[in-house]
Chain A
Amino acid sequence: MSRRARQNRSAADRPPRAAGTSLAKAPRTVSADDAPCGERAVVGPVDSHRIDPAHTRSEVLRTAGLFKSFRKGPVEVPVLRGVDLTVRQGELLAIVGQSGSGKSTLLHLLATLDAPDRGEIYFEGRRIDNLPSRERDVLRNRRFGMIFQFYHLLPELNVLENVLAPLMIAESVPGYFLRRRGHRRRAAEILKLVGLDHRLKHKPRELSGGEMQRTAIARALVTQPDLLLADEPTGNLDVETGREILDVLGGLNRRQNLTIVMVTHDQGIARQADRIVRLVGGRVESA
């Protein structure tokens, strides 16, 4: 499937944006749903200071001089010291580094879960690190998918409900009820894709680690994101199961042209990636 075809399909299947979010309100935003070639806007009014001057068409994500430090008592511990990173459309990028090298911190910054002390992050050419929290919420919900080392499923919900959670967050109550059949079908399809269609009604505690991670992947994919951010996705799994998870991610990357940024400390796993960058001393070195 070509990139263009995929984006057209995803535009049609994507849940309509909730009215009232700044994404929908923004007057000059080109909405994904009516953009002819799938060029979708992320942020509201296209202010000049939010546009990445160095943006090229193939770039999904770019960071420029990211600094982040944490305070431990009176001591300021720098973690990232000027990270410059570019993620290209459709690639599987592995970020490797020692424990405590700031890989997870970098991933959290990319996901807008945390803000950098200094530096900028651009997503599809627009700056996202300084967006208001409401717009960052929408961005995380609609455009990014995240998977974690410890799966991070909601223990009270079963597999299907966990996968539906991002859609529930995206929709208003009446909107969800109106489209719940389509949503359920899509969640079931994606669970089938990751090979979990037989465990829809199971609670996370009844699943194996691999199954939990597959559920997390399905949850990350259900909103058809443009970027998948994976934080040590195999870190808590045995080698065999870890390879299966990697196969799933690799398949998504190849067949659906999904851009994936994966953080890992395991060189062997990183070798599966199209490109590897190494995080050393708070800076990026190409491997």
Chain B
Amino acid sequence: MYKFLLCWRYLRTRWIALVSVVSVTLGVATMIVVNSVMSGFVVEMHQRLHGILSDVVVESRDLNGFPDAQRHMERIRQVAGDDVEAMTPTVDVPAMLTLHNGGQWVSKPIHLFGIDPMTQGQVSAFAQYLQHPENRRQPSFNLRDGGYDAHDHQADRDALPRPAMDRAGWKHRHEWVRAEAFRRSLELPERRGQPPADDAVPDAAARSVPDAFANMPAAQTEHVFDPDKEQHTGTVLGIAMISYPGDGGGLRFALLPGDDVRITTVTASRREPKFRTWDFTVVDLYESKMSEYDSQLVFVPIDVLQEMRGMIDPEKNIAYVNAIQIKLRPGADGYAVRDKLRKAFPADFYGVSTWQDKQGPLLDAVRMEIIILNILLFFIIAVAGFGILAIFLMIVVEKTRDIGILKSLGASRGGIMGIFLGYGLSLGLVGSGAGLVLGLLFVYHINQIADWVGRVTHHPIFDPTIYYFYRIPTIVDPGTIAWIVLGALVIAVLSSILPALRAAMLHPVEALRYE
């Protein structure tokens, strides 16, 4: 009983001891803030990495792919059984995107995905990243009249608007056609109607009209593509491909849904591959906020891509695909499914991997970063332990006479030790409790703090154009916090063991004589 009373009194009357736990407080607060922000980033990053990747993918080892997606999906369902929630076939191939910007043709390397718009949304978060609300419900490769988000639907209300997106859609296409017609009317007559030297075009002339305006004056019996009323096959471009940060942090667009682009890729023939170039109409933009994806991925309908690459067997009418994307039911073990599928599909022809496998090095790097940070920060608290040790030894010396008195009243060695261990524990509780409150307050107000520091120093701490986040993401994990606080308490108790032992071992007579 006296132990608790004395602990409590020492705690209230010894300010120097409270000062010694300030470092525990700061250490705990820093660890909580760092862990919350890091796990916020990790979860955000996982979501974005996972956004386009399905849980497990079975893919061919070459660009030619494998035939008959349906049979493969049946086999997968046999092997993985209940764990599979949805599947969709895809074709993916490196390609080149060419767009007409400011009177010049600009080319960019891309990764071209042929997807099934009906089922793609079931296996990945693809649809969530589109800019038209209807497309988010059900992705479509048809150009919409309008209604594209002029405000990033993934950001807070205070994110900068994108007024250009108000024009996107058929409205923009009509304007573009008129402007283009006007521009052409100014060109020299002899350059008009001169078809571009493109030897990949002829086999699909109906789809690829490299210069629709060149054909307009000539009256032809066959169907004439009218860009004012028709669209090419739709395509979805990553937003970072065609936009760049403008003044003041908003996005400027080089291209909008409604514009045409040209995509060049290679055929999947077993013979010598050939280049193919087709025209597509941009119908939506894809914004996962993972710059790696947003600057590289282009989506087109899978059947169009199969046709473009010659992946449909004309005799048997069987289409080839490159990969089957699999979504697992919640809670299923992706690695177990992967291992089962690896046994079922010969490794010479098929690669099976989870989305974590695909992004393994990045995820490992982040995990390592978190571990190292935690170790370093824990050293802060360990250093605080030595502060407690030093102050405690001082307090034991100061309290030598009291220790003698307590022994003369019959207090045991264990009891004396208990006073100082309890004192250390309560200091740890006070220190880590204050750290907990401080850390949580900081985490909950981190964005205001970042804004304020940015205003004061005139250097924005957190630039949304770099991170693609408008807010610093934080996740407070109670388990992590419990470990941090427990660690701080253990350190406080450990560092009070030596002073407590010293107090317990004091000779009562010498302690009583001590002045």
CA distance A285 to B96 in the complex (A): 116
Q: Which residues of B contact A219 (CB under 8 A)?
A: 409
Within 8 Å of chain B (Cβ to Cβ): is A161? yes
Within 8 Å of chain B (Cβ to Cβ): is A137? yes
Measured CB to CB, the closest approach of chain B to A94, in angstroms, equals 21
* Interface contact B410-A154, CB-CB below 8 Å: no
Within 8 Å of chain A (Cβ to Cβ): is B225? no
* Interface contact B410-A137, CB-CB below 8 Å: yes
Within 8 Å of chain A (Cβ to Cβ): is B473? no
Residues from 108 to 141 in A contacting B, C-beta threshold 8 Å: 108, 111, 113-114, 133-134, 137-141
* Interface contact A113-B1, CB-CB below 8 Å: no
Q: Which residues of B contact A170 (CB under 8 A)?
A: 410
Residues from 462 to 515 in B contacting A, C-beta threshold 8 Å: 507-509, 512
* Interface contact A140-B1, CB-CB below 8 Å: no
* Interface contact B412-A133, CB-CB below 8 Å: yes
B402's contact among A138, A155, A166, by CB below 8 Å, is which? Answer: A155
Interface centre among B9, B402, B410, B507 (most CB of A within 10 A): B410
* Interface contact A173-B4, CB-CB below 8 Å: yes
CA distance A161 to B1 in the complex (A): 11
B412's contact among A111, A137, A153, A172, by CB below 8 Å, is which? Answer: A137
Main secondary structure of the interface of B (DSSP, over half): helix
Known: A108-B509, A152-B512. A165 touches B409 (CB 8 A): yes
CA distance A105 to B5 in the complex (A): 31
Q: What residue in chain A is nearest B407 (Cβ atoms)? A: A113
CA distance A269 to B216 in the complex (A): 132
What 1/0 mask marks residues of chain A from 138 to 160 whose CB sits below 8 Å from any chain B CB? 11111000101000111111000
Within 8 Å of chain A (Cβ to Cβ): is B327? no
Within 8 Å of chain B (Cβ to Cβ): is A280? no
Within 8 Å of chain A (Cβ to Cβ): is B408? yes
Measured CB to CB, the closest approach of chain A to B463, in angstroms, equals 54
Residues from 158 to 187 in A contacting B, C-beta threshold 8 Å: 161, 165-166, 168-173, 176-177
Known: A133-B412, A154-B6, A157-B9. A168 touches B1 (CB 8 A): yes
* Interface contact A152-B408, CB-CB below 8 Å: yes
Interface centre among A141, A153, A154 (most CB of B within 10 A): A154
Q: Which residues of B contact A168 (CB under 8 A)?
A: 1-2, 5
A113's contact among B5, B402, B509, by CB below 8 Å, is which? Answer: B509
Q: What residue in chain B is nearest A105 (Cβ atoms)? A: B509
Within 8 Å of chain A (Cβ to Cβ): is B207? no
Q: Which residues of B contact A108 (CB under 8 A)?
A: 508-509, 512
* Interface contact A113-B408, CB-CB below 8 Å: yes
Measured CB to CB, the closest approach of chain B to A25, in angstroms, equals 15
* Interface contact A113-B6, CB-CB below 8 Å: no
Known: A171-B1, A173-B1. A156 touches B6 (CB 8 A): yes
Residue tally, chain A, CB below 8 Å to B: 33
CA distance A105 to B513 in the complex (A): 11
* Interface contact B5-A142, CB-CB below 8 Å: no
Measured CB to CB, the closest approach of chain A to B408, in angstroms, equals 5
What 1/0 mask marks residues of chain B from 382 to 405 whose CB sits below 8 Å from any chain A CB? 000000000000000000011011
Residues from 217 to 247 in A contacting B, C-beta threshold 8 Å: 219
Q: Which residues of B contact A152 (CB under 8 A)?
A: 401, 404-405, 408, 512
CA distance A179 to B405 in the complex (A): 24
Q: What residue in chain A is nearest B510 (Cβ atoms)? A: A114
CA distance A219 to B405 in the complex (A): 11
CA distance A139 to B407 in the complex (A): 11
* Interface contact B408-A146, CB-CB below 8 Å: yes
A156's contact among B13, B404, B413, B508, by CB below 8 Å, is which? Answer: B13
Known: A113-B512, A156-B6. A141 touches B13 (CB 8 A): no
CA distance A139 to B406 in the complex (A): 14
Measured CB to CB, the closest approach of chain A to B412, in angstroms, equals 5
Interface centre among A114, A137, A142, A172 (most CB of B within 10 A): A137
CA distance A140 to B13 in the complex (A): 29
Residues from 11 to 48 in B contacting A, C-beta threshold 8 Å: 13
Within 8 Å of chain A (Cβ to Cβ): is B266? no
CA distance A137 to B402 in the complex (A): 16
Q: Which residues of A contact B402 (CB under 8 A)?
A: 154-156
* Interface contact A138-B5, CB-CB below 8 Å: no
B411's contact among A137, A148, A161, by CB below 8 Å, is which? Answer: A137
A161's contact among B5, B10, B409, by CB below 8 Å, is which? Answer: B5
Within 8 Å of chain A (Cβ to Cβ): is B250? no
Interface centre among A140, A155, A169 (most CB of B within 10 A): A169
CA distance A171 to B3 in the complex (A): 11
* Interface contact A169-B415, CB-CB below 8 Å: yes
Q: Which residues of A contact B405 (CB under 8 A)?
A: 152-154
Q: Which residues of A contact B407 (CB under 8 A)?
A: 113, 137, 140
Q: Which residues of B contact A105 (CB under 8 A)?
A: 509
CA distance A170 to B507 in the complex (A): 21
* Interface contact A114-B410, CB-CB below 8 Å: no
Measured CB to CB, the closest approach of chain B to A177, in angstroms, equals 8
CA distance A111 to B6 in the complex (A): 24
CA distance A72 to B316 in the complex (A): 110
Measured CB to CB, the closest approach of chain B to A18, in angstroms, equals 11
Q: Which residues of B contact A155 (CB under 8 A)?
A: 402
CA distance A219 to B412 in the complex (A): 18
* Interface contact A111-B410, CB-CB below 8 Å: no
What 1/0 mask marks residues of chain A from 1 to 21 whose CB sits below 8 Å from any chain B CB? 000000000000000000000
Known: A156-B10, A161-B5, A173-B4. A140 touches B409 (CB 8 A): yes
* Interface contact B1-A134, CB-CB below 8 Å: no
Interface centre among B2, B6, B507 (most CB of A within 10 A): B2
CA distance A165 to B402 in the complex (A): 12
B410's contact among A141, A156, A161, by CB below 8 Å, is which? Answer: A141
Known: A114-B508, A171-B1. A140 touches B9 (CB 8 A): no
Measured CB to CB, the closest approach of chain B to A223, in angstroms, equals 8
What 1/0 mask marks residues of chain A from 92 to 115 whose CB sits below 8 Å from any chain B CB? 000000000000010010010110
CA distance A72 to B411 in the complex (A): 29
What 1/0 mask marks residues of chain B from 285 to 303 whose CB sits below 8 Å from any chain A CB? 0000000000000000000
CA distance A157 to B399 in the complex (A): 13
Q: What residue in chain A is nearest B402 (Cβ atoms)? A: A154
Measured CB to CB, the closest approach of chain B to A11, in angstroms, equals 19
Can you list 23 contacts pairing A with B, beta carbon distance less than 8 Å? A108-B508, A113-B509, A113-B512, A114-B509, A134-B412, A137-B410, A137-B411, A138-B410, A142-B410, A146-B408, A152-B404, A154-B402, A156-B10, A156-B13, A157-B6, A157-B9, A161-B5, A168-B1, A168-B2, A169-B1, A169-B2, A169-B406, A173-B1
| Residues of A bordering B, CB below 8 Å | 105, 108, 111, 113-114, 133-134, 137-142, 146, 148, 152-157, 161, 165-166, 168-173, 176-177, 219
Question: Top 10 nearest A-B pairs by Cβ distance?
Answer: A141-B410, A156-B9, A168-B1, A168-B2, A140-B410, A176-B1, A113-B508, A152-B405, A137-B412, A114-B509
Known: A148-B512, A152-B401. 10 other contacts (CB 8 A): A108-B508, A113-B508, A140-B410, A141-B409, A152-B404, A152-B405, A155-B402, A169-B2, A170-B410, A172-B1
| Residues of B bordering A, CB below 8 Å | 1-2, 4-6, 9-10, 13, 401-402, 404-413, 415, 507-509, 512
